[in-house]
Amino acid sequence: MKKNKKINIAIVGLGNIGLNLYLHLIKNKKTIIKKNNVNFDVKYVSAKTIHKKRKIKIPKKKWLTNFIHASKLKDIDLVVELIGGADGAAKKLVFNCLKNKKHVVTANKALISKYGDQLALLAEKKKVNLEFEAAVAGGVPIIRTLKEGLIANKASKVYGILNGTSNYILSNMDKMNFKSVLEKAKKLGYAERNPKSDLNGEDVKSKIQILSSLAFNSFIIKSNINIEGINNIDEVDIKNAEILGYKIKHLGLSEIENGKLIQCVHPCLIKKESRISNINGVLNAVIVEGKPIGKFVLQGEGAGPGPTTSALVSDICSVLRGNIKFPFAVSHLNRKKITSIDLSNKMFSSYIRLDVIDKKGVLSSITKIMSKNKISVKRLIQNPLRGKKFASIVIVSHKAKNKNLVKCINELKKNNFILKNPKFIRIEEI
């Protein structure tokens, strides 16, 4: 063991993740020391309410009365931020820690996607580490893989299933409706009490922004991201997709096309045979396409205390082993500004479901509006509903520009024969 070397750690935030990490570090201290050949101690902890009843007892002497002391005390080398949220306490703590030359490990995707560029520059200036493996895809070690394992590659695309809650819901909607699956997910602890950011795509947005900047050595690009969640997917769409040979998955996607970055988050139909269509339940998967590697897939548990602790310990070990690494793999000076574009001109085949009044002329009106918007029909299924007064028309379109597809849906919506908001889901060829 390196003589006299001991790293003192403070864990700030003792919720789901923080408490589990604390326990893991205490129980596995000897092994971690052996593996890294460096001594360490979890010297301090902090949370919002000191006197809250917690699952385990933490010695009084370890408690900081104010979380911000973690950024000031001389006998702290590494702070693990597990508060969460892009602003407020987490932001204050991490900026102050780096300013005061303390290494930081965080699982906070919201913070990194919002302030990652500034934080990385600060860490680089102060010659400390800022590690965030747990911020994307939980236990799937995609950050370190992009920074180290795939260093030889020029990536062209990175995408994946990045939210376990929405993947669990979509994987189970062939048996139950959205509401019932969500309730079940909450009971099983797969969904938070307020799962808004899991369901509306915001959570995946942060993750794909972080992955993009690592894959393409760019600053975090915040503009032109099309974000859609899974809130609008119905049971019947899952069943229709199945009949058509597809599965519906919620993906974060980022790619470089003609030198421009396209980032988006949306539910999409993907061929049943595709590898990613068989990633079910709470699993996450990340795919990187690049040269010379070709297509590279990593999959595993995307959230929860166990997988997240695995990623956090990997970051802590990286700090214990020494050497200052650039938070986004390359120096601030070598990160690029890439122009981003929105989906407008990107070509997609699409799934369109229209619940209509079943009367003469409706189908021809629909195809007229489609052809006016330069969209042609590849497949069409018409299912009569309730005594043939109504019908559900499912159309798979040939490829068309996204802007035309969106315009077409908006035009269709305005017609009296359309009973409900049309469903429009893009088809991804992956």
The residue within the footprint of ligand NAP, chosen from 8, 108, 213, 284 (CB under 6 A), is 108
According to CB under 6 A, which residues from 124 to 163 bind ligand NAP? 134, 138
Scanning 83-91, 114-122, 216-224, 257-265 for contacts with ligand NAP by CB under 6 A, the matching segment is 83-91
The residue within the footprint of ligand NAP, chosen from 79, 82, 158, 210 (CB under 6 A), is 82
Scanning 72-80, 106-114, 249-257, 313-321 for contacts with ligand NAP by CB under 6 A, the matching segment is 106-114
Nearer to ligand NAP by C-beta: 18 or 195?
A: 18
In the complex, the smallest distance separating the C-beta of residue 35 from ligand NAP, rounded to whole angstroms, is 23
Scanning 13-21, 223-231, 292-300, 411-419 for contacts with ligand NAP by CB under 6 A, the matching segment is 13-21
In the complex, the smallest distance separating the C-beta of residue 239 from ligand NAP, rounded to whole angstroms, is 30
- Nearest CA to 381 out of 372, 366, 373, 391 is that of 391
The residue within the footprint of ligand NAP, chosen from 303, 405, 427, 430 (CB under 6 A), is 303
Scanning 95-103, 223-231, 301-309, 414-422 for contacts with ligand NAP by CB under 6 A, the matching segment is 301-309
Active site residues per annotation: 207
Q: In the stretch 252-291, what mask flags binding to ligand NAP with x, by CB under 6 A?
A: ----------------------------------------
In the complex, the smallest distance separating the C-beta of residue 7 from ligand NAP, rounded to whole angstroms, is 21
Residue 96 makes contact with ligand NAP by CB under 6 A: no
Residue 314 makes contact with ligand NAP by CB under 6 A: no
The residue within the footprint of ligand NAP, chosen from 5, 48, 389, 420 (CB under 6 A), is 48
Residue 408 makes contact with ligand NAP by CB under 6 A: no
Chain residues that interact with ligand NAP, rule: CB under 6 A = 13-18, 46-49, 52, 67, 82-84, 89, 107-109, 134, 138, 303-304, 308
